[in-house]
Structure 1
Amino acid sequence: MSDIDDIPQPDQIDGAPHPRETLQLIGQSPAESAFLDAFNGDRLHHAWLITGPKGVGKATLAWRLAKFLIATPKDDAGMFATPAPETLDISEDHPVTSRIAALSEPGLFLLRRGWDEKTKKLKSVITVDEVRKLKGFFSMSNPDGGKRVVIVDAADEMNVSAANALLKVLEEPPADCILLLVSHQPSRLLPTIRSRCRELRCQQLNADDMAAALNAAGADADQHAVALSELSGGSVGEALRLLNLDGLTLYKELMSVIDTFPRLDRARAIALGEKAAARNVDGRLDLMLRLFDVALSRLSRAGLGMVENQAASGELLTLARLSPNEDAARRWATLSASSSARARHGQAVNLDPSSLILDMVLTMNEVAGKTAA
């Protein structure tokens, strides 16, 4: 495989355009403004750590910053100095935009998981060999005289050797080079890497921004924007997964089972498990387990009065009945803390998926019984 279109890209969400092809970033104005202020104020740090929940637009921001940095010429402060840019926008017909879309921009280096020709799969981590390729990139100057940019997506995926190699680059950064590190879980990075970067925090999207972002990605989800925002935690990537796997229907069916607590409708619970275990739908079980996590989180938050919008018809009434106070909230929070590990263990030992789902339902029903008592 040599054509980039033929190789699975680890930094692309199924059903959405690649972040480098996305011209508009929605809901992250504070992060964009912070970077622009640093740029215009001549306080541009050599390394930026772009953080936030997975799927909220971190990679899109990184590519927007890369295009901006490469396409925006240096200000010589002379008589004909260009005015300070007010946005990060670079026009669609700009040469840098087209070169970046084709991954042919000489001023950009993309550091991500590589392709294993032997296994014909993406590698599970970013290896030190990928980081060592930076040496050749740094040895060349940008033909246009502008800044060079390195995007690391995602920095969390570097193994120890790769992280130590990148740390050396951060400690002695080349001139006129900016490093952009995308991180879903910055706590997993070496403290020394974090300390050498300035953080740009991307926030969760509200319902309006979620609808706009999904429409921009080609998904018509206006009528479900509130539910998608609630279930996805404000992550566009997670919202797209919910749409692709009919997650809204799955959550509605899960809530219909939960609504029977503490007098569980066992037949309905078995049917839910069988649907989640369907072999012809990739990712359905993982999504179902994720929705259990969401339901438990919402149950625990409901007892504290922290759930305002419902993600399925009648959900608020169910949450209020099963989690009416702080004591109930603590019970659900305790179960939430252990449930995910219990489910992952069940997957690890190849427990039958339908049995795994039924076990989780029975455990929740038991807690509901104690709450009712």
Structure 2
Amino acid sequence: MSRLPELVGQEAAEAQFMTAWEGGRLAHAWLLSGPRGIGKATLARRIAALVLGRPAGQGSLLGAGPGGTGGRVEPDPDHPAVAQVTAGSHPDLRLLTPGVNPKTNKQRDEIVIDDVREAIHFMAMTPAQGGWRVVIVDAADEMNINAANALLKVLEEPPPRALLLLVAHRPARLPATIRSRCRGLTLRPLPEAILEHLLAARAEQPDSGIAAADLRFLVRLGEGSVGRALDLARLGGVDIYRQLVDLLAALPGLDPGQAYAFAEKVTRHPEGLRIAGDLLEGWVARLASTGARGADPAASFPGAPGEAEAARRLLAAAPLDRWVGVWEKISHLLGRARAVHLDPRQCLVNAFLDLDTVARGGRPG
């Protein structure tokens, strides 16, 4: 029997949806927001299976009828719709993601207008199984402006018996006109205890890639996201983080050669810039947040050797606004590097050089 992925730690979001579902007040569009890897796409698929698994002719969009168990989104596991949604073969479900550019035959990094137009056409068709049509956009914040404008039209005039589920990691990137026409459903980062339990269970599986000695580090670096923690485990994120902290602990007084060697090593992997960049950006953001709250770095950072001492020294070396400013610059630099394919090694080195400048009391260039 095909089974949908389990959803853990998002009971509040599930209950919010089920209240609308069972009360016959189901909005035609939902915006599922929150950090990456916390279950937004899983919840969207479980909602799709629940909606598509209801008997045909049992009410309209605004009269869904009962379903689920105890406030949880629990589709009937024996209904054929569950197996079809799990396999991605349900005729009344579309998953809208960045497609392939026919000119380059490479995966796009954004959803374009043609993708959205096809989804709109699909939503307007008569459901193949007589029930509903469901479109999941994953992720909605990856739509370009033309695609977003096209989607807005269907939000303004939704077809009958059509449900739109927008998954968004950074909902602020969406136009306000889209956000205002969707029912919000916010998923929260998982508590560390739940995340540690899930990772420990995964670590017991063969070839999990999770070393027992790294488990606590992965919990802290995962920031409440199972997906992020597993991604870091798969790509050696703990080792990358420790090397990154070694470089940060040398500030001020960065050795550009060591920074370049680090950048050269991590960017050999196609996803190296993303992992190292996210970890570096997150470290500087944590530094600024710690300074703003007046918190103890020992409690705010994962605890790599020398990490708390480095944070204390850096916070004393420059005013808080400098660290906020350099974080903004690094975020912009790394975002551009990924978007327009700048040299990833030089981008990482430049980020370290900017941090070294601030640690010396200056301003980044």
TM-score normalised by L of structure 1: 0.78
Confirm or deny that 1:228 pairs with 2:213.
no
Please name the residue that 2:191 is paired with: 206
Q: 1:236 to 1:160 in 2, by over 3 A?
A: same
Residue type matched to 2:150 in 1? A
Residue type matched to 2:285 in 1? S
3-state DSSP class of the match of 1:323? helix
What is the alpha-carbon distance in structure 2 between the residues aligned to residue 346 and residue 106 of structure 1? 39
Picking from 285, 289, 293, the partner of 1:297 is 285
Residue type matched to 2:361 in 1? K
What is the alpha-carbon distance in structure 2 between the residues aligned to residue 167 and residue 194 of structure 1? 10
Please name the residue that 1:47 is paired with: 29
User: Once the 2 structures are TM-superposed, how far is the Cα of residue 155 of structure 1 from its aligned partner?
Assistant: 1.9
Q: 1:28 to 1:352 in 2, by over 3 A?
A: closer
- Checking the alignment, whether the CA contact within 8 Å between 2:32 and 2:184 is kept in structure 1 is yes
Q: 1:120 to 1:351 in 2, by over 3 A?
A: closer
Unaligned runs of 5+ residues in structure 1 are 1-19
Unaligned runs of 5+ residues in structure 2 are 60-64
Residue type matched to 2:161 in 1? D
Q: 1:200 to 1:148 in 2, by over 3 A?
A: same
Confirm or deny that 1:311 pairs with 2:293.
no
Q: 1:92 to 1:121 in 2, by over 3 A?
A: farther
Spell out the pairing of 1:185-196 with structure 2 (5 A cutoff): 185-196=170-181
Residue type matched to 2:275 in 1? L
Spell out the pairing of 1:354-373 with structure 2 (5 A cutoff): 355-370=346-361
3-state DSSP class of the match of 2:361? helix
Confirm or deny that 1:70 pairs with 2:60.
no
Residue type matched to 2:355 in 1? M
Please name the residue that 1:23 is paired with: 5
The farther-off stretch of 210-219 and 223-232 is 210-219
Residue type matched to 1:289 in 2? G
- Checking the alignment, whether the CA contact within 8 Å between 1:26 and 1:212 is kept in structure 2 is no
- Checking the alignment, whether the CA contact within 8 Å between 1:48 and 1:181 is kept in structure 2 is yes
Please name the residue that 2:41 is paired with: 59
- Checking the alignment, whether the CA contact within 8 Å between 1:75 and 1:82 is kept in structure 2 is no
| Superposition RMSD in Å | 3.3
Please name the residue that 1:36 is paired with: 18
Please name the residue that 1:258 is paired with: 248
Q: 1:172 to 1:255 in 2, by over 3 A?
A: same
Q: 1:267 to 1:174 in 2, by over 3 A?
A: closer
Residue type matched to 2:241 in 1? Y
TM-score normalised by L of structure 2: 0.80
- Per-residue deviation, residues 253-274 of structure 1 (Å, max 9, x unmatched): 1112222333446664454234
Please name the residue that 1:249 is paired with: 239
Confirm or deny that 1:288 pairs with 2:276.
yes
Residue type matched to 1:341 in 2? H
Residue type matched to 1:53 in 2? P
Sequence identity percentage: 36
User: Once the 2 structures are TM-superposed, how far is the Cα of residue 165 of structure 1 from its aligned partner?
Assistant: 3.0
User: Once the 2 structures are TM-superposed, how far is the Cα of residue 197 of structure 1 from its aligned partner?
Assistant: 0.8
Residue type matched to 1:317 in 2? E
Confirm or deny that 1:119 pairs with 2:104.
yes
What is the alpha-carbon distance in structure 2 between the residues aligned to residue 349 and residue 141 of structure 1? 42
User: Once the 2 structures are TM-superposed, how far is the Cα of residue 71 of structure 1 from its aligned partner?
Assistant: 1.6
3-state DSSP class of the match of 1:56? coil
Confirm or deny that 1:337 pairs with 2:303.
no
What is the alpha-carbon distance in structure 2 between the residues aligned to residue 284 and residue 33 of structure 1? 38
- Checking the alignment, whether the CA contact within 8 Å between 1:156 and 1:188 is kept in structure 2 is yes
Picking from 69, 84, 97, the partner of 1:85 is 69
What is the alpha-carbon distance in structure 2 between the residues aligned to residue 306 and residue 175 of structure 1? 54
What is the alpha-carbon distance in structure 1 between the residues aligned to residue 343 and residue 5 of structure 2? 44
What is the alpha-carbon distance in structure 2 between the residues aligned to residue 349 and residue 62 of structure 1? 32
